[in-house]
Amino acid sequence: VLEAYKQGLRPAVGYELNPWLLCLSHYRAWKAGYHGKVSFLKKDLWKVNLSDCHNVIVFLAPSVKPPLATKLLAELPDEARVVAGRFPFPSWTPTSTLGQGLEQVWAYDMKEVRRAAQSSAEGSRV
């Protein structure tokens, strides 16, 4: 969230249920001088409506990626970009990647992800 804010993405909001990680996030924002500029909310990602989000950054385990992919496809606008850290979305083709190993990230443009999903669905009907 801090890096998103530094890169000019507004608003910069993080969702976290773990109270310790939420506290750590608030502390790091304060320490970096971003208190009041970024937000960390104790909310369940699965219950948050993401339809107004245009930049989504996720650091989640591989087992969570398939159901999250379904949620993101259903809610995000075509103009949205999703960046996944540490683990890619297994059924999506990234628009770009950066880094290696534990520092690797994958970027996905939702318009392209949807186009690929529709092509795949049409191909499986034939």
Q: Please list the rounded mean pLDDT of every run of 10 residues in the chain (126 residues).
A: 90 93 96 95 94 92 93 96 94 95 94 90 66
Which pLDDT score is estimated for 102? 87
Whether the CB-CB separation of 56 and 82 falls below 8 Å is answered with: yes
**Structural domains of the chain, with CATH:** 1-43 (no CATH), 51-125 (3.40.50.150)
Strands 39-41 and 13-15: parallel
DSSP 47: G
